[in-house]
Structure 1
Amino acid sequence: MTRSAHDPAAGRRLLVRVLLGALAAAVAAIPFLAAWQHRTDRFAVEEQLSPAAAPPPAAGAPALRGLPRDTGPVVLAYHDVRPDGERPYTVTPAAFDAQLAALRAAGYRTLSTAEFVRHLRGERVPGRTVYLTFDDGAQGLWRYADRSLARHGMRAAAYLITGQVGERHTYYLSWEEVRRMASSGRWDFQSHTDDLHRRLPLDASGARLGPALTERLWLPAERRRETPAEYRTRVAADLDRSIDAITSRGLPKPLLFAYPFSESHGSGPSGAGVLQGMLRQRFTAALTNHHGPHPLGAGARAFAERTVQRLEITSGTTVAGLLAGLAERGPRRPGGEPRPLAVPAGWEFPGAPGGTTVGAFTGAGPYPLERGHLSAEYRPLATADWTGYTAEASVDGLHSTANGVSLTVRAHGGRPVLVALSRANVRVTEGTGAARRTVARARLEPAARHTLRIVVTADATEVRVDGRLRARVPVPPSAAGGHATGGVALGVHNDGAPRWPAFRTLTVAQTRPAAPAESAPEAPHGRGHGRTAP
């Protein structure tokens, strides 16, 4: 038995010695704690670096001359900015700075997410604008991209995988970096899921993988795939965690969502619109880098379908390539190029042999030997939101029923109107796929040359051939709000006639208010579903 057990004073002295020892140890540990805290802070907030300033393109450079003067926003999709730019989705700091310098030289300004959303909802954005987006929330945004944005007076939006913020800080941002970026006024933060930017097994083998956002996953413990209800519960919980992770840190609620891998449809319930329904409940629209069946500029149709397509920027994107992409996608007003056939670079030829040009539509050739039909689309992305325009064409070379032309308005929209013209006949159809219907058809005075005038308004499409009204196609209320917009497309076919038909002229202008249209008699012989003239 020790003495201290019977001596209260001795016990107190022992306690004092223990406390003094602990205090001494704590004092001795202060430098080590400070060093540890310094290390933690260093990893939480990395040093920012500024690349050398990039020279802007020379005034009057061809790439700058090809840009529309007054255009709506184009959405640019970046991922990471860091020196090891050999990875496909990583842009070097020097390349990023050069791209911002080119944008500024071309007169572009950048939009916040709130400004971009107001544009989607119908607010006009004047001048040249872009919306810069960064997927994933990579650490290079803070360390390299932020300094270039500050230099050029621009801003951007980071789409965060919120479950990765603060994890693997060698790649992802920390929440402290997010806070500092937000306080700069140059950044806002949107959703890229909480933890669904992954590909996971879809069957027992584990070899078949699919996007965790769009597919029903394999449940190994139960040896089955998720039920639709389980899929909805899992995805809804992830989307809500993503929103909560952002708002719980005092940041504004995200307005937009970016699809992981740009994949918006899977083989599971999302294909039936379940995923899109959950996204619409939480966000104004979703962003993708993949083209759907119909090109979507950032405007009325994108808002109607709640899906915006972006121009993806990769390690191989040059300044010239960026400006060319803006020229292709920048929304244009009807009549901005009043004679589209005089702008060969503005046309695309889906499914056509290599080397096809507008010459195959104007009579200059060359013509493909292996087929008898060609299509051409005029700036499909830049004209996706067109309405209120008049397209006029003169056509010749119509020799028989073996050849003919077509002119489509509201092209790529949900309610395109196609006018097919031959030597002695005209046919007007509306819609796409199984919903396509014949509106009118009529006999014409046989001739090798005809003129065509199509007036497109928000309410109807009016078709005249050789000055006479042939059809008036109303826009149903279900197609309002961007579903009945779109530009122009051409078609020519030749099935053994002596020569191909040709569009001698094609003009596009904004539609002026017109007097009430004359009534057109019914289609002869009861054919067709609309109104026509003989």
Structure 2
Amino acid sequence: MKSDGSRGHRLLRSSRLRDGRPLLRAALGLLTAAAVALPFTAAWQYDALRRAVADQTAPPASGGPGTDADADAKPAPAASAPVVLAYHDIGPDDRSRYTVSLEHFDAQLRALRDAGYRTLSTREFTDFLRTGRTPGPRTVHLTFDDGTHGLWTHADPVLARYGMKAAAYLITGQVGTHRPYYLSWAEVGRMARSGRWDFQAHTHLSHERAAVDAAGHERSVFTNRLWLADEGRVETSAEYRRRIAADLDRSIRDLLAHDLPRPRLFAYPFSERLDQSNLDERDTEALRSMLRKRFTATFTNNPARPLPAGPHAVAVGQVQRLEVTRDTDPAGLLRELARWAPVAPGDVDRPLSHPGHWQATGDTEQPALGLLTGDRRPRGGTAHASADYRPLGTAGWTDYRLRATVGGLHGTSNSAGITLRAGSEHPVSLSVGRNTASLATDGRKDTGDRRGCRLDPSATHRITVSVTPRRVRVSVDGEPCTTVRAGRWPATESAGGFALSVHNDGPERQWPRFTSLKVG
């Protein structure tokens, strides 16, 4: 039994060895194949990573374009509110005005640093919007729309050189597509981990244009109801609102899904204005409500009114940005930042002596100030000329007084005008002629007085206007004339500076003129 058992055990063991030879050979074959394939697998993985994370370019050598021009540009006053700068792409493409070259971008950031500017993160900027406290002597918030790959390959090394921060506004549905035009999520992750970048919302897939009517006219799909060709009709309000809400929510989910903080700010696609869309008033308010529900504020480069960062922008939930293009040189950037800086009424010095502080409106030809002061004659066929005084710097004005002298008034054919609270929701227009003065409100919600007064006929009148959030009071030649009182709206809705105008439709073509103007 023992001998038979031993023999049986040996036979069984021999049988197992013979049966296991194919398995052993297969295992050895797999190991051999893996060893042979390992270099190729590693190369494939490296190539995939390279495609997902492009190589970065080195910052340009110091002393690039624009260095010498920086000296003649003065920075903004030290206590200015932050200005939001709007970039798109950084790189060598010279076909688009929205692509800033690497050399110019480096020169711009160097000019900002040398002028004492500091860049803000989104958290710091939204803290300013919430508290109203200026976050430092001179600050800017750098924003980049669309999420192009140039932010990683070209812009990021320059930010690192100057120790600056920026925010990228992503079209989340485009991330990782059309490579190498858009960023990949891997690049976004590296940028976020650097501490130099944060990421905000620019829609999921609503940054495009499509037909909005049967004729095929194309506009932004975000701010317009679309033409449904298969059904021969325009989207209903309900369909539009559902589509936009779904797009905004998907954009937020995409950012959160990639371990990024919830976005606080939103940039309108194409910076298109709502008053130029096919939305009615209810749809417009519904869109604004959706944005207010999801974000602290929205950005646009083309608002219907001046809205630089400040209390009035916070009140309406929208902030205007200063757009930077390939033609923006460092000195020009500093001049624009100074132009955007808030100015106090008491700091205004001889406004009629500074042509550069006036911005023509309507069809007024440049330079506008000469038409208002009589130093230039309007071209033939012109009946009206007007200009705003520093519309961005005075956008937050709520209390001020103007003293102006108007001459050259003639009959009933010409007049001079002063618009108070210019650019606000509730502007007030004063018109002064040889015999009369009248005050009218232009805002949609105004329910205040609309009045005028008779004047002693004269070619020259002295005008005093006192503006507060609650009223606009006018005196002419030292005598009270008329007052318009405010409705029950927040003071920020009536914040704004002033504009001047002259009008002449008489056969004599005799133009009135402003001979003096003081602000206090």
TM-score by length of 2: 0.87
Give the letter aligned to residue 79 of structure 1: H
C-alpha change, 1:356 and 1:434, in structure 2 (3 Å) is: farther
C-alpha change, 1:223 and 1:362, in structure 2 (3 Å) is: closer
* Match in the other structure for 1:20: 28
Cα RMSD (Å) of the superposition?
2.9
> Helix, strand or coil for the counterpart of 1:240?
helix
Distance in 2 between the 1:279 and 1:60 partners? 39
Distance in 1 between the 2:235 and 2:387 partners? 44
> Helix, strand or coil for the counterpart of 1:64?
coil
1:99 aligns with 2:73: no
Tell me the matched-pair count.
Answer: 501
> Helix, strand or coil for the counterpart of 2:73?
helix
> Helix, strand or coil for the counterpart of 2:418?
strand
Give the letter aligned to residue 281 of structure 1: K
Distance in 2 between the 1:203 and 1:426 partners? 46
2:298 to 279, 282, 286: 286
Residue 422 of structure 1 and its aligned partner are, at CA, apart by 2.2
CA contact (8 A) 2:396 2:495 kept: yes
Give the letter aligned to residue 289 of structure 1: N
Residue by residue over 1:442-484, the C-alpha shift from the partner in whole angstroms, topping out at 9 and shown as x without a partner, is 1223333322222222333232223333334333232x15210
1:31 aligns with 2:42: no
Q: Aligned ranges for residues 304-315 of structure 1 at < 5 Å?
A: 304-315=315-326
C-alpha change, 1:220 and 1:414, in structure 2 (3 Å) is: closer
Residue by residue over 1:114-136, the C-alpha shift from the partner in whole angstroms, topping out at 9 and shown as x without a partner, is 22223334513253322211001
The gaps in structure 2 that reach 5 residues or longer are 1-14
Distance in 2 between the 1:178 and 1:274 partners? 32
Q: Aligned ranges for residues 125-274 of structure 1 at < 5 Å?
A: 125=134, 126-202=136-212, 208-217=217-226, 225-265=234-274, 266-268=277-279, 272-274=284-286
> Helix, strand or coil for the counterpart of 2:45?
helix
* Match in the other structure for 1:111: 120
C-alpha change, 1:363 and 1:132, in structure 2 (3 Å) is: same
Give the letter aligned to residue 61 of structure 2: A
Give the letter aligned to residue 55 of structure 2: E
Residue 437 of structure 1 and its aligned partner are, at CA, apart by 7.1
Distance in 2 between the 1:263 and 1:351 partners? 20
Q: Aligned ranges for residues 105-504 of structure 1 at < 5 Å?
A: 105-121=114-130, 123-125=132-134, 126-202=136-212, 208-217=217-226, 225-265=234-274, 266-268=277-279, 272-292=284-304, 294-432=305-443, 439-478=450-489, 480-494=490-504, 495-496=506-507, 499-504=510-515
CA contact (8 A) 2:358 2:387 kept: yes
* Match in the other structure for 1:48: 56
C-alpha change, 1:214 and 1:418, in structure 2 (3 Å) is: closer
Give the letter aligned to residue 283 of structure 1: F
C-alpha change, 1:70 and 1:504, in structure 2 (3 Å) is: farther
C-alpha change, 1:12 and 1:197, in structure 2 (3 Å) is: same
Residue 362 of structure 1 and its aligned partner are, at CA, apart by 2.2
Q: Which moved more, 1:44-53 or 1:119-128?
A: 119-128
Question: Which is helix-richer, 1 or 2?
Answer: 2
Give the letter aligned to residue 291 of structure 2: L
Residue 145 of structure 1 and its aligned partner are, at CA, apart by 0.7
> Helix, strand or coil for the counterpart of 2:39?
helix
TM-score by length of 1: 0.85
Larger radius of gyration: 2
CA contact (8 A) 2:88 2:144 kept: yes
Give the letter aligned to residue 286 of structure 1: T
CA contact (8 A) 2:405 2:463 kept: yes
Distance in 2 between the 1:199 and 1:503 partners? 46
Instruction: Give percent identity, aligned residues only.
Output: 47
* Match in the other structure for 2:6: none
Distance in 2 between the 1:192 and 1:490 partners? 38
Residue 235 of structure 1 and its aligned partner are, at CA, apart by 1.9
Residue by residue over 1:35-68, the C-alpha shift from the partner in whole angstroms, topping out at 9 and shown as x without a partner, is 1221222222222222222367459833327x55
CA contact (8 A) 2:174 2:205 kept: yes
Distance in 2 between the 1:334 and 1:31 partners? 72
Distance in 2 between the 1:8 and 1:203 partners? 79
Distance in 1 between the 2:86 and 2:214 partners? 35
